[in-house]
């Protein structure tokens, strides 16, 4: 399998970088459980490294480095998230000036260089910030300032660890996300190695796992870079909001519900089915370099609103609060071994079979997947054609796009045959 698989946030640690309320046995049990599931990579937030002055390492940085070494020795690769701009408001212990200002950006670039250099052995890839198209993640910075921050952060990472992968990611592909992607691929400061994206289709956005086909085509068209899906998830419980509730202006956190649902809704069984379908698509795409499931375990409280019963932030895990495996854990293990349930993926084609899938069945499933991918590319082209985004309009008018549209006509006809 050329696409690596990982999980988000398996490290339970305090703001000081220490493992939070866990003994060595608990950590070792988690490591072993993740190995059995076939987890290769872990994604985790990296603390700001300086204390009081640039270059003076903080206790959080040192403690976290020791934690990363432990996971590295266990055989896991790490994708690190550079510090969030919003973290400045929560108490970086350094005078960095105004967020987004020249001093702030200079210190942020140096912090990213320092982190990448010092963690070069343990962190093989970096994402600069996280989904900064969302205001809550980039506050108090503007969109323009966040774009400059990602450029400076990426430049710092590549100077500190030239061999490490570096990229940026957005939540979904709203107009803000598209504007920021197009300003960063390419840009005048650093060439990113991959483009990152987060998607919760069927939970926070309409759709389901198959929405990834179009999303991947859009990213390829905008950036030309391989994709790493940094967050793909589906909670195992939660009632969907009604149309009236979605139109009310109140958030899903206030209702204690989820904006959307896929198929039969949010349940442990549907979470497992969602994971298998999504990873079938992602691992089968030639454009995807890696994919992370959000997240390793359930949480006692929602990370966003702080409510214990809010399904949006408490029910995303492969394991529950006691780290007992959910059906999605076992689905992840099958996917990691390349053992997809073809009958579940394509019930109409494979339901009558009463035998194990053979080579011919796998080949047919791959052809069906390729047809789906082509339909996603067609949907992407249609999206660009009707877009009012000025940057996309320029893409639409370009000679390469006109040639691509001409070449896609026979592919569209092929993709429509099933």
Q: Are residues 222 and 307 in the same domain?
A: yes
- The shares of helix, strand and coil residues in the chain, as percent rounded to the nearest 5, are 45, 15, 40
Host domain of residue 308: 4-340
- The partner residues of 5 in beta bridges, in order of sequence, read 291
Q: Are residues 170 and 21 in the same domain?
A: yes
Question: Residue 400's CB: how many other CB atoms inside 10 A?
Answer: 8
Question: Residue 249's CB: how many other CB atoms inside 10 A?
Answer: 7
pLDDT of residue 400: 59
Torsion angle (degrees, nearest 10) of CA 151, 153, 159, 164: -100
Distance from the Cα of residue 368 to its chain's centroid: 25
Does the residue 351 lie in any domain? no
Local structure of residue 42 (DSSP, 8 states): E
pTM over 0.95: no
Q: Assign 169 to helix, strand or coil.
A: strand
Q: Are residues 80 and 130 in the same domain?
A: yes
Residue corresponding to tokens 């969907």: 240
pLDDT of residue 54: 93
Q: Are residues 37 and 169 in the same domain?
A: yes
Residue-wise pLDDT for 301-320, tens only, equals 998 899 998 999 999 999 99
Domain CATH number, residue 161: 3.20.20.80
pLDDT of residue 17: 42
Residue 405 to residue 315: CA distance in whole angstroms: 42
Q: Are residues 275 and 384 in the same domain?
A: no
Q: Assign 41 to helix, strand or coil.
A: strand
Helices 359-386 and 399-415 cross at an angle (nearest 10°) of 140
| DSSP letter string, 255-316 | HTSBS---TT-S-HHHHHHHHHHHHHHHHT-TTEEEEEES-SB--SS-TTT--TT-HHHHS-
Q: Are residues 18 and 74 in the same domain?
A: yes
Question: Positive or negative CA dihedral for 167, 168, 170, 173?
Answer: negative
Q: Is 354 left (phi over 0), alpha (psi -120 to 50) or beta?
A: alpha
The list of the chain residues with pLDDT below 50 reads 1, 14-19, 418
pLDDT of residue 239: 97
Q: Are residues 294 and 377 in the same domain?
A: no
Counted domains in the chain: 2
Q: Are residues 178 and 291 in the same domain?
A: yes
Q: Assign 40 to helix, strand or coil.
A: coil
Residue 155 to residue 47: CA distance in whole angstroms: 18
Residue 220 to residue 247: CA distance in whole angstroms: 33
| DSSP letter string, 308-369 | TT-HHHHS--SB-TT-PBPHHHHHHHHHHTT---HHHH-HHHHTT--S---HHHHHHHHHHH
Does the residue 346 lie in any domain? no
Q: Are residues 88 and 169 in the same domain?
A: yes
> Domain ends where: 307, 340, 373?
340
Q: Are residues 254 and 125 in the same domain?
A: yes
pLDDT of residue 381: 82
């Amino acid at each position: 399998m050329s696409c690596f698989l990982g999980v988000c946030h398996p490290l339970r640690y305090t703001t000081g970088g220490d493992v939070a309320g866990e003994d060595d046995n608990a950590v070792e049990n988690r490591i072993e459980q993740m190995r059995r599931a076939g987890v290769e990579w872990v994604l985790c937030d990296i603390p700001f490294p300086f204390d009081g002055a640039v270059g003076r390492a903080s206790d959080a940085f040192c403690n976290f480095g020791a934690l990363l070494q432990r996971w590295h020795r266990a055989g896991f690769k790490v994708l690190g998230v550079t510090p969030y701009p919003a973290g400045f408001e929560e108490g970086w212990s350094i005078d960095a000036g105004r967020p987004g200002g020249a001093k702030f950006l200079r210190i942020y670039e140096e912090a990213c260089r320092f982190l990448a250099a010092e963690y070069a052995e343990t962190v093989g890839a970096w994402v600069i910030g996280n989904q900064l198209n969302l205001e809550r993640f980039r506050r108090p910075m503007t969109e323009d300032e966040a774009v400059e921050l990602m450029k400076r952060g990426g430049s710092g990472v590549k100077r500190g660890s030239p061999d490490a992968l570096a990229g940026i990611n957005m939540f979904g592909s709203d107009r803000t996300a598209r504007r920021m992607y197009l300003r960063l691929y390419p840009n005048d400061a650093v060439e990113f190695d991959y483009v990152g994206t987060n998607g919760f289709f069927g939970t926070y956005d309409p759709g389901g796992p198959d929405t990834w086909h179009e999303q991947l085509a859009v990213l390829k068209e905008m950036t030309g870079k391989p994709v790493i899906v940094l967050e793909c998830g589906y909670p195992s419980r939660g009632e969907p909001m009604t149309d009236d509730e979605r139109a009310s202006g109140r958030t899903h956190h206030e209702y204690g519900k989820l904006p959307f649902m896929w198929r039969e809704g949010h349940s442990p069984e549907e979470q497992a089915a969602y994971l298998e379908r999504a990873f079938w698509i992602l691992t089968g795409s030639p454009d995807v370099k890696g994919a992370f499931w959000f997240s390793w375990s359930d949480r006692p409280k929602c990370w966003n609103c702080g409510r214990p019963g809010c399904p949006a932030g408490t029910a995303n895990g492969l394991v529950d609060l006691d780290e007992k495996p959910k059906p999605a854990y076992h689905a992840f293990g099958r996917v990691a071994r390349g053992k997809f349930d073809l009958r579940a993926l394509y019930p109409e084609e494979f339901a009558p079979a009463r035998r194990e899938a053979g080579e011919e069945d796998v080949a047919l499933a791959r052809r069906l997947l390729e047809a789906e991918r082509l339909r996603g590319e067609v949907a992407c082209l249609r999206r660009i054609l009707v877009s009012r985004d000025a940057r996309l309009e320029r893409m639409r008018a370009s000679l390469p796009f006109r040639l691509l549209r001409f070449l896609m006509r026979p592919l569209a006809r092929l993709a429509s045959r099933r």
